[in-house]
Amino acid sequence: MYVLVCYVPETHLQCVKEALFSAGAGILGGYEQCSWQTLGTGQFMPCKGSSPFIGEVGALEQVEEWRLELVVDEEHVASAVQAMLEAHPYEVPAYHLIPVMTIDGLSM
Q: How confident is the model at residue 104 (pLDDT cuts 50, 70, 90)?
A: confident
Q: Is the pTM of this model over 0.85?
A: yes
Asked whether residue 60 is domain-assigned, the answer is yes
Longest CA–CA separation in the chain, Å: 55
Residues 6+ apart with CB under 8 A from 33: 17, 21, 26
CA-CA distances (angstroms) from residue 67 to 70, 86, 93, 102? 10, 17, 12, 22
- pLDDT tens, residue by residue, 70-93: 999 999 999 999 999 999 999 999
pLDDT at 94: 96
> Which CATH number is 19's domain given?
3.30.70.120
Domain that includes residue 19, residue range: 2-103
Coil vs helix vs strand at 88: coil
Q: How many CB atoms lie within 10 A of CB 95?
A: 16
Asked whether residue 108 is domain-assigned, the answer is no
- pLDDT tens, residue by residue, 10-46: 999 999 999 999 999 999 999 999 999 999 999 999 9
Asked whether residue 78 is domain-assigned, the answer is yes
* Count: domains in the chain: 1
Asked whether residue 42 is domain-assigned, the answer is yes
